Amino acid sequence: MIKLAGEQSVRVRENVRGGEGTLVFHDFLLAEESFGAGKLFSRTVIPVGASVGEHRHEGEFEIYYVLSGVVEAQDGGSWVALHAGDTHLCAGGESHALRNFGSAEAEVLMLILNENKPSR
């Protein structure tokens, strides 16, 4: 499968997970196209002052990879600045949040993948 940029789904969402502002999700893969691997595969545009509210993951984990701009991720109760090229991982059973406190729009690659725990 090949998806050109103009064929990707674009979603505009306000107050994501109780956060502030409006985020734009450019979904390069839909959950139903992932063969059960996960549910979010998106390049997300986060305006200055916008955020994703604190939320918990169960049975899945989320990865943020910063493409541009500066954001802060809440990790283990602390806020940490992330710049282009930085990664944040929120494991299953943990909570996190994300906010753009910088002076420019940020773009973040967001992936929510299903946990694949080995059977015993």
Domains of the chain with CATH codes: 8-41+59-114 (2.60.120.10)
State pLDDT tens for residues 44-102. Answer: 999 999 999 999 999 999 999 999 999 999 988 899 999 999 999 999 999 999 999 99
> What mean pLDDT is reported for the chain?
95
Q: Can you give the pLDDT at residue 64? A: 98
Residue 120 burial class via C-beta count within 10 angstroms: exposed 0-12, middle 13-18, buried 19 and up: exposed
Q: Is 23 left (phi over 0), alpha (psi -120 to 50) or beta?
A: beta
Top-confidence residue, 117 or 83? 83
Cβ proximity of 70 and 106 under 8 Å: yes
State pLDDT tens for residues 1-53. Answer: 899 989 999 999 999 999 999 999 999 999 999 999 999 999 999 999 999 99
Cα 120 to its chain centre, rounded Å, is: 31
pTM of the predicted structure, to 2 decimals: 0.92
Q: Can you give the pLDDT at residue 118? A: 56
Dist CA 43 CA 28 (whole Å)? 7
Dist CA 119 CA 101 (whole Å)? 42
Cβ proximity of 46 and 64 under 8 Å: no
Which percentage of the chain shows pLDDT scores above 90?
91
CB within 8 Å of 35: residues ≥ 6 apart: none
Q: Can you give the pLDDT at residue 48? A: 98
